[in-house]
Structure 1
């Protein structure tokens, strides 16, 4: 009898877990100035009440299935995840040269980049399930640069997490505007981030007394969370399963701390 009751209890847990894993996905068209943008949201299917918000900023190829996958992962954990669109609706590079041109446009115009980032944040907070008091932004590569720019814009959010993002400080005085906790997850052997940029980032954070962390993963290069980067570190960008897993766990710990979970 005890074994039977235990089986029923376990079945009940399985049903609840399966139900919790169900998510709702939707495409959301929004504006920044005269530019139409197309974001993506994922959240628990039967969410009740307000949900912590994770804003996801894409890598240089634009909003792709990769960012949607990350949003789905987060939604299954109980978050409202919103992937912003920086480039504009229908602007999805098909080559590295196109991606470089698009990313370069915003890296050279940080004011425009911040406008697009804040437009995405505002759209995320328009979702009826969004808890405006519990918001974190995460970004990958180009998007990793972006979330730090979002923080530098003075955004009223709890934290930002940069995965293998550019860490240069073109306007270090803007560090004074940062209200969010900052976590930078960095490949120790990333050739795309210069030692001078790392030093400038650290100095900016220290000077303005930001609550910040910089975690380096030994042996990891650029794009270490992305399988589409291949597995050849000699190219400067490659997937690293160990760094991917460790950085995701670092994110989970960070979210728990920021959201008080």
Structure 2
């Protein structure tokens, strides 16, 4: 397997992503962009990129904050994430910059792209779908579902999968219901929400132990099941 850093830009912002691909695969193959949690691009998103490469995809773990900045506490997370959420146009632009970088790689079939995201990254992939990105699928793992720019009728091209914890305070039941209504009113052709019982925020990350955020707790069963659901969707729309 090959893994390396990839530098790209969005306007004046320098971004440093992480690319993973299988050297033994021949010819262009589907590409998957991976969007990180609120802490920034770190080992968790990189490991997921390598795992996707092991499945035969070219995976680019994107950098949404610039210069691969990392947050160490909730105050820094709030500053970095809040700044982008306050400017959804910039958030979407940085997401598109990662997709364009991925699509331009010679190993990638630009007609078969998908995006996944965790926590803040889950919000990012949903914003890309709402913006009409040329994606076959987006998968949000414990991401925020609210938006300032709801999906417009006929705009969403991607199949949408949301994996959420029933007990996640960052995606409460009323937010889930609003998202479902948004998908209906936006005429999204293929969408699904899978809610895992007895599951909090951050359920895919083994490092989530409540130390940084009390509501963030790893759940091995929900992690395993949500990843399997992602693979099933990708098998359907990326082959």
The alignment's TM-score, normalised by the length of structure 2, stands at 0.95
Whether 2:219 is the aligned partner of 1:240: answer yes
Higher relative CO (Cα under 8 Å, sequence separation at least 6) belongs to: 2
Aligned to 1:42: 20
1:235 deviation in Å?
2.6
1:37 deviation in Å?
0.4
Contact 2:40 2:65 in 1 (8 A): yes
1:175 deviation in Å?
5.7
Contact 1:169 1:204 in 2 (8 A): no
1:64 deviation in Å?
0.3
Give the distance between the partners of 2:228 and 2:79, measured in 1 at CA: 33
Change in 2 beyond 3 A, CA 1:175/1:219: farther
Q: SS state of the match for residue 207, structure 2?
A: helix
- Residue 229 of structure 1: which of 183, 203, 208 is its match? 208
Whether 2:107 is the aligned partner of 1:129: answer yes
Q: What's the CA shift string for 1:55-109, capped at 9, x where partnerless?
A: 1000001110101100111111111000111100142222221112101111121
- Residue 142 of structure 1: which of 102, 116, 120 is its match? 120
Larger Rg: 1
Aligned to 2:199: 220
Alignment of 1:1-261 (within 5 A): 23-174=1-152, 176-210=154-188, 211-230=190-209, 235-260=214-239
Contact 1:175 1:205 in 2 (8 A): no
Contact 2:32 2:116 in 1 (8 A): yes
Contact 2:14 2:66 in 1 (8 A): yes
Where do 4+ consecutive residues of structure 1 move more than 6 Å?
none
The count of corresponding residues between Structure 1 and Structure 2 is: 237
| Superposed CA RMSD | 1.5
The alignment's TM-score, normalised by the length of structure 1, stands at 0.87
In terms of fraction of residues, the more helix-rich structure is 1
Gapped runs of 5+ residues in structure 1? 1-22
